[in-house]
Amino acid sequence: MKVVMVGEGAFANKHLDALERIEGIEVDSICGGVQEAVEQVAATRGISHCTLDLAEALARPDVEAAILASPTPIHAAQARQVMQEGKHVLVEIPMADNLADAEDLVRLASDTGVIAMVDHVRRFNPSHQWIHQKVVAGELNVQQMDVQTFFFRRTNTNAKGEPRSWTDHLLWHHACHTVDLFQYQTGGPAADVVALQGPTHPDLGIAMDMTIGLKSDSGALCTLSLSFNNDGPFGTFFRYICDNGTFVANYDDLFTGDGEQIDVSGIDVSTDGIELADREFFAAIREEREPNSSLAQGLEAMRTLDRLERCLGAD
């Protein structure tokens, strides 16, 4: 299956790493925003075609799908372009940076009939899969999720510390991971939401600190702290407080509340959540079925983010 990789940055390269481990997938073209960077990735990866024009990449013979690891502000426009060309699309979170665009994408996916998926990778991380399987089996109930999303980004840089051409956002990007995961693990949309944010950065124009609270219909709580001001390890750290144990998830690793590591190597065919999400995308295309984390399934997270944004507007 020939695919187009859209993006040349940190997460595009994570997807390219994953695709090298998936049989039957060929990256036919890479499309990005900076010519020199796109050419460098293409040369390093042995990708024969590179371009700054998405239409050119999608028009290449036998291309069936695209993976969008491009800047957040253009996700919706590019996803729309891919689907209008009749190609399948996997878009990095968020699918859009506002609810109206997200709803439009879900309608377009339904109208075109293509496989359209948003990469809510936490659904696929073996650590969170382990929790989800226990919840579905009735062996665990989540009582509270305490989550920290911490970075040190007082300048406009990406996950590799390189200059970024667009401004990241704590709510519509980083909170999106946890909002979707909490609703996925508790079985439905948040019944109550609250959000507070700190001062706006004078140059970046975004809040650098944020606190989010969610409550499910079952009474489960989520407390999410986000910061671009934290001087320490980067990433998101999850503590699940359940009726039958406490568990700490760090990306693909899982520990008990006492720090004992839980073996999740047998949960799936890989321990890399990004690879597992990519595998689900291609399996859904081949099997002509809705993927886990389809755009339609991801819409509820967008609705919750919209509610949270309205809370912040009342600050």
Q: What is the pLDDT of residues 19-70, one digit of tens each?
A: 999 999 999 999 999 999 999 999 999 999 999 999 999 999 999 999 999 9
pLDDT digits (tens, 9 = 90+) for 147-160: 999 887 666 665 56
Reply yes or no on whether the pLDDT at 163 is more than 80. Answer: no
| Cα-based torsion angle of the residue sequence 36, 42, 48, 49 in order, rounded to the nearest 10 degrees | -50
With a CB cutoff of 8 Å and minimum separation 6, the contacts of 277 are 90, 117, 119, 120, 121, 123, 124, 293
What global pTM score does this model have? 0.94
CATH number at residue 17: 3.40.50.720
Average pLDDT, the chain: 94
Reply yes or no on whether the pLDDT at 167 is more than 80. Answer: no
Claim to verify: residue 238 and residue 197 sit in the same structural domain: yes
Q: By three-state DSSP, how is residue 240 classified?
A: strand
Claim to verify: residue 136 and residue 241 sit in the same structural domain: yes
Predicted confidence at residue 233, as pLDDT, reads 79
Q: What range does the domain containing 136 cover?
A: 122-269+301-313
Claim to verify: residue 19 and residue 105 sit in the same structural domain: yes
Q: Give me 294's structure tokens.
A: 């389809």
Claim to verify: residue 20 and residue 133 sit in the same structural domain: no
Residue bearing the bigger pLDDT, 204 or 29: 29
CATH number at residue 130: 3.30.360.10
Claim to verify: residue 156 and residue 9 sit in the same structural domain: no
Claim to verify: residue 188 and residue 95 sit in the same structural domain: no
Claim to verify: residue 11 and residue 160 sit in the same structural domain: no
The neighbour count for residue 182, using CB atoms within 10 Å, is 26
CA dist 282 and 94 (Å) reads 20
Claim to verify: residue 168 and residue 220 sit in the same structural domain: yes
Count the helix, strand and coil residues of the chain and give each as a percent rounded to the nearest 5: 35, 25, 35
Tell me what percent of the residues of the chain surpass a pLDDT of 90. Answer: 86
Q: Give the total number of structural domains in the chain.
A: 2
Claim to verify: residue 78 and residue 132 sit in the same structural domain: no
Which of 304, 305, 276, 271 minimizes the C-alpha distance to 292?
276
Claim to verify: residue 162 and residue 237 sit in the same structural domain: yes
Claim to verify: residue 151 and residue 232 sit in the same structural domain: yes
